[in-house]
């Protein structure tokens, strides 16, 4: 099994601060960590490898310093890590990021499974995993909370939904994005830390992955962030009391009074 | 304070600290309450490679010494002195093999201990042989290719959980301590079972049981050194592991101090944080002074032993006495800083006070340690004349 895990560097804080003028995330002075959701992706990749054999390669697009974080993933059990880094990648939105990652993954040769965290804690879009699958032309499942089985070129997993889970089976190669319910990431081993210290992290530039200049970085990013805000969820709820029949009547009357458009 | 650790020692400390903070601290009070063995934490330790810090690389360990062992014990004990003991008592059970085992024995037993697949234990104490270790009555008689063991060891840490036991027995009653022999006994050997499990004041996540030998057959190749060397095996082992008890004491005290100072900044009385009262400040300062002095003595003793020094009994006893008395005082003061909260089980310091007490008792009570120290000092003084 060739497994690729995509990781992103994010600021080590849950309260992301925005630059009000440029609408971009302020990264200065904040410790950088591996996106917490990606740590579950790494752990799952390493567990699959430990059970069935294979290789786990971690990939990230980011600034040169991200190599330090990639080294950490070696301590956690990844076999190799690759950094896609180039000035030309700067300012990438989710589309350009997915394109860039897809080229990096293609350069690695045949891959069976790509694992991403469900979303990054800074941008919170959850788009890169599915976009990456689209760019590679392979199926994907998001919010995976458990891999039930990997067998004969297929994967069957449980996808977390609001009120339970769905069981989805798809052919490999495929992309899954994972939620924190899937496992408990390990603490690195001492030997892993030693290996990580010595690990070489290759850096691939735009040229080396043969990227189309118009599809990477700011140029390849059609997304314009007009403004950012935390949405307010103002739900005015009202409890309806009485016997079930009375409650039903009150509820129907209320709904009718709202004159909601009804579809046939 | 910078203790000039090597890069590897610093990495070991950081890794052990992460395990303590992320994995042990959240479950420490629960294990204390239930008094059950922390199998899940042992698995985490095994995965971390830390179980083998003091075992040579050729047997799968990390090749460190007593200092590395102490660093791990101290960090783990900050979160729970009881859970840390699963690791520390394995060290106690392994040192007889490290010091006196032959190549085959080392190859057979040490790799599984280094990887954390197996735990070890050390069986010396009996009902009538505590401080007076020379009073042991468990016997072993040679019958063909086996020793046949009879007797009961008492209060053995990791009893039942460990797979590898180094046990002191009498092979020749007529010779007193010179008739003692150390044997490696494996869990599952015929005639070897576990008796009473103790219900303890502290270190409740550690398991303490009897080892019961009823015509237990142990192959004679499991002898450590030669017949008659058992007492020396035990004493030389304890000389090397007492700094581990001292490190446990330092860790417990540090955990209590950390909690107490944080609490003192948050607790408001008379309109101000109690940390603004000078009496509290001075208590905190004294606690920190004592902890740092003990830590410095422990590390230096470890380095002294790791350097290959010959005379280590006095130093090893000194650091154990100093650190354990310190831990008892510091944890008691930590309870005082917290006031009534300190007395409540919802807060971790009363447990730390209970846990600290054992460090004054086991691996030789502090009274016995003072005996050892005084006798050495008198001997040294005589030599000078
Ligand atoms: C939780 C726990 C875990 C343990 N784990 C192990 C283990 O893994 N393996 C093992 O072999 N043992 C173990 N022990 C045993 C431990 O080492 C002994 O309890 C300890 O050595 C003291 O012996 P004792 O309890 O019989 O006390 P005693 O010897 O009965 O001592 C009672 C009191 O008399 C004092 N005293 C005794 N003799 C003298 C003297 N000559 N001069 C001055 N004062 C003296 C002692 O200091 C003490 O205060 C453990 C004990 C406990 C409580």
Residue B125 CA: nearest ligand 1 atom is 11
Structure tokens at B318: 């000194």
Rg (CA), chain B: 21
- Phi and psi at residue B279, to the nearest 5°: -65, -40
Structure tokens at B132: 């007076």
Instruction: Tell me which residue has its CA closest to atom 35 in ligand 1.
Output: B367
Q: Which residues of B touch A186 (CB under 8 A)?
A: 44, 47
With the most atoms of ligand 1 within 8 angstroms of its CB, the residue from B32, B81, B88, B130 to mutate is: B130
CA distance B189 to B157: 19
**pLDDT, position A263:** 66
**pLDDT, position A252:** 92
Do B204 and B82 contact (CB within 8 A), yes or no? Answer: yes
CA distance A139 to A152: 16
- Of the partner residues B22, B23, B48, the one whose CB lies closest to the CB of residue A189: B48
With the most atoms of ligand 1 within 8 angstroms of its CB, the residue from B153, B360, B361 to mutate is: B361
**pLDDT, position B317:** 98
**pLDDT, position A221:** 87
In three-state secondary structure terms, B271 is: coil
**Cβ <8 Å between B47 and A191:** no
**Cβ <8 Å between A187 and B50:** no
Do A157 and A168 contact (CB within 8 A), yes or no? Answer: yes
**Ramachandran region, residue A137 (left: φ > 0; alpha: ψ -120 to 50; beta: rest):** left
- How far is the centre of ligand 1, averaged over its atoms, from the C-alpha of B126 (Å)? 10
Domains of chain B from N-terminus onward: 7-119 (1.10.540.10), 121-228 (2.40.110.10), 231-384 (1.20.140.10)
| Of the candidate ranges A149-153, B226-230, B319-323, the one whose mean pLDDT is the lowest | A149-153
Placement of tokens 């992706």 in the chain: A41
Q: How close A167 comes to chain B (CA, Å)? A: 30
Helix B25-34 × helix B349-358 angle, to 10°: 70
**pLDDT, position A125:** 80
Beta-carbon count within 10 A of B124 CB: 27
**pLDDT, position B288:** 98
Model confidence band, residue B254 (pLDDT cutoffs 50, 70, 90): very high
**Cβ <8 Å between B44 and A190:** no
Placement of tokens 């290996």 in the chain: A195
**pLDDT, position B66:** 98
**pLDDT, position B153:** 98
**pLDDT, position B145:** 97
Query: Measuring from each residue's beta carbon to the nearest atom of ligand 1, which residues come in under 6 Å?
Result: B 89, 121-125, 130-131, 155-157, 200, 208, 358, 361-365, 367-368, 371
CA distance B279 to B269: 14
| CB contact B43 to A (< 8 Å) | no
**pLDDT, position A93:** 85
Q: Provide DSSP, B340-355.
A: HHHHSTTSTHHHHHHH
Q: What is the pLDDT along chain A (264 residues), one digit of tens a residue?
A: 999 999 998 888 766 677 777 777 676 777 888 888 999 999 999 999 999 899 999 999 999 999 999 999 999 999 999 999 999 988 888 898 999 999 999 999 999 999 999 888 777 788 888 999 999 999 999 999 999 999 989 999 999 998 899 999 999 999 999 999 999 999 999 999 999 999 999 999 999 999 888 988 888 888 887 877 777 777 778 888 899 999 999 999 998 888 877 765
Q: How close A198 comes to chain B (CA, Å)? A: 13
- Of the partner residues B11, B19, B53, the one whose CB lies closest to the CB of residue A187: B19
Q: Which residues of B touch A189 (CB under 8 A)?
A: 47-49
Beta-carbon count within 10 A of B89 CB: 27
Model confidence band, residue B332 (pLDDT cutoffs 50, 70, 90): very high
DSSP 8-class letter at B126: B
**pLDDT, position A264:** 56
Q: Which residues of B touch A191 (CB under 8 A)?
A: 49
On the question of pLDDT at B347 being above 60, the answer is yes
Pairing of strands A140-151, A174-178: parallel
| CB contact B40 to A (< 8 Å) | no
- Of the partner residues B12, B23, B44, the one whose CB lies closest to the CB of residue A190: B12
Query: Dihedral, CA atoms, B224, B229, B233, B234, nearest 10 degrees?
Result: 120
- How far is the centre of ligand 1, averaged over its atoms, from the C-alpha of A113 (Å)? 58
CB pairs under 8 A between A and B: 28
| CB contact A190 to B (< 8 Å) | yes
On the question of pLDDT at B248 being above 70, the answer is yes
* Closest to B90 in 3D by CA, of B8, B44, B156, B145: B156
Region B332-349: mean pLDDT is: 98
**pLDDT, position A231:** 77
Give the model confidence (pLDDT) of B40-73 as tens digits: 999 999 999 999 999 999 999 999 999 999 999 9
| CB contact B58 to A (< 8 Å) | no
| CB contact A198 to B (< 8 Å) | no
Model confidence band, residue B292 (pLDDT cutoffs 50, 70, 90): very high
Domains of chain A from N-terminus onward: 2-215 (3.40.50.620)
Please calculate the CA angle B188-B192-B195 and round it to the nearest 5 degrees: 115
Q: Which residues of A touch B27 (CB under 8 A)?
A: none
Burial of B238 (0-12, 13-18, 19+ CB in 10 A): buried
**pLDDT, position B88:** 98
**Cβ <8 Å between A193 and B22:** no
| CB contact B47 to A (< 8 Å) | yes
- Of the partner residues A187, A192, A194, the one whose CB lies closest to the CB of residue B22: A187
| Catalytic residue numbers of B, as ranges | 363
**Cβ <8 Å between B15 and A186:** no
**pLDDT, position A159:** 95
CA distance A212 to A208: 11
- Of the partner residues A186, A193, A194, the one whose CB lies closest to the CB of residue B47: A186
Mean of all residue pLDDT scores within chain B: 97
With the most atoms of ligand 1 within 8 angstroms of its CB, the residue from B152, B203, B362 to mutate is: B362
Best residue of A33, A47, A183, A190 to probe chain B, by most B CBs closer than 10 Å: A190
- Phi and psi at residue A156, to the nearest 5°: -120, 125
CA distance A221 to B194: 69
Instruction: Tell me which residue has its CA closest to atom 29 in ligand 1.
Output: B131
Give the model confidence (pLDDT) of B75-134 as tens digits: 999 999 999 999 999 999 999 999 999 999 999 999 999 999 999 999 999 999 999 999
Best residue of B42, B48, B60, B61 to probe chain A, by most A CBs closer than 10 Å: B48
**Cβ <8 Å between A187 and B44:** yes
């Amino acid at each position: 099994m060739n497994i690729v895990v995509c990781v992103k560097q994010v600021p080590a804080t849950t309260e992301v601060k925005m630059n009000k003028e440029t609408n971009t995330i302020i990264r200065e002075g904040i410790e950088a960590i591996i996106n917490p959701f990606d740590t579950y992706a790494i752990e799952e990749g390493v567990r699959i490898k430990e059970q069935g054999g294979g290789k786990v390669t971690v990939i990230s697009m980011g600034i040169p310093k991200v190599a330090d974080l990639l080294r950490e993933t070696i301590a956690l059990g990844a076999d190799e890590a690759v950094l896609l880094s180039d000035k030309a990648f700067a300012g990438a939105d989710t589309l350009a990021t997915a394109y860039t990652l897809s080229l990096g993954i293609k350069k690695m040769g045949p891959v069976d499974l790509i694992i991403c965290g469900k979303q990054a804690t800074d941008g919170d879009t959850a788009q890169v995993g599915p976009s990456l699958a689209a760019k590679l032309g392979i199926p994907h499942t998001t919010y995976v909370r458990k891999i039930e089985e990997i067998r004969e070129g297929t994967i069957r997993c449980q996808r977390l939904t609001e009120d339970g889970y769905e069981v989805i089976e798809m052919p490999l190669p495929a992309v899954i994005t994972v939620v924190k319910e899937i496992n408990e990431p390990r603490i690195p081993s001492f030997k892993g830390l030693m290996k990580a210290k010595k690990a070489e992290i290759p850096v691939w530039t735009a040229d080396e992955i043969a990227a189309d200049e118009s599809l990477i970085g700011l140029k390849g990013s059609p997304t314009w962030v007009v403004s950012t805000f935390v949405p307010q969820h103002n739900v005015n709820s009202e409890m309806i009391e009485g016997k079930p029949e009375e409650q039903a009547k009150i509820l129907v009357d209320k709904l009718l009074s709202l004159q909601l458009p009804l579809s046939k | 304070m910078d203790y000039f650790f090597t890069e590897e020692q610093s990495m070991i400390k950081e890794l052990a600290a992460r395990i303590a903070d992320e994995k042990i601290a959240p479950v420490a009070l629960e294990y204390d309450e239930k008094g059950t063995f922390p199998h899940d934490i042992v698995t985490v330790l095994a995965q971390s490679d830390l179980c083998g810090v003091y075992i040579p690389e050729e047997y799968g360990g990390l090749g460190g010494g007593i200092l590395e062992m102490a660093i791990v014990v101290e960090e783990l004990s900050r979160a729970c002195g009881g859970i840390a003991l699963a690791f520390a008592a394995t060290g106690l059970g392994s040192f007889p093999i490290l010091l006196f085992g032959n190549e085959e024995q080392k190859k057979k037993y040490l790799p599984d201990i280094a990887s954390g697949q197996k735990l070890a234990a050390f069986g010396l104490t009996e009902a009538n042989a505590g401080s007076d270790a020379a009073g042991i009555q468990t016997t072993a008689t040679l019958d063909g290719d086996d020793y046949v063991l009879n007797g009961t060891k008492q209060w053995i840490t990791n009893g039942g959980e460990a797979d590898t036991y180094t046990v002191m027995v009498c092979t020749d009653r007529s010779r007193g301590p010179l008739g003692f022999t150390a044997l490696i006994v494996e869990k599952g050997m015929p005639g070897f079972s576990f008796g009473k499990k103790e219900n303890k004041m502290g270190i409740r996540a550690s398991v303490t049981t009897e080892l019961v030998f009823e015509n237990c057959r142990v192959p004679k190749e499991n002898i450590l050194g030669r017949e008659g060397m058992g007492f020396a095996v035990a004493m030389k082992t304890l000389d090397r592991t007492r700094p581990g008890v001292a490190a446990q004491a330092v860790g417990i005290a540090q955990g209590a101090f950390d909690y107490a100072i944080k609490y003192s900044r948050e607790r408001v009385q008379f309109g101000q944080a109690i940390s603004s009262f000078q009496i509290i400040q001075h208590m905190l300062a004294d606690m920190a002074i004592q902890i740092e002095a003990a830590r410095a003595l422990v590390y230096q003793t470890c380095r002294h032993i790791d350097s290959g020094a010959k005379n280590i009994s006095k130093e090893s006893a000194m650091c154990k006495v100093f650190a354990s008395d310190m831990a008892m005082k510091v944890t008691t003061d930590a309870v005082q800083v917290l006031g009534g909260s300190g007395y409540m089980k919802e807060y971790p310091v009363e447990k730390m006070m209970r846990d600290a007490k054992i460090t004054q008792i086991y691996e030789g009570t502090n009274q016995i340690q003072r005996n050892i120290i005084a006798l050495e000092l008198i001997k040294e003084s005589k030599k000078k004349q």
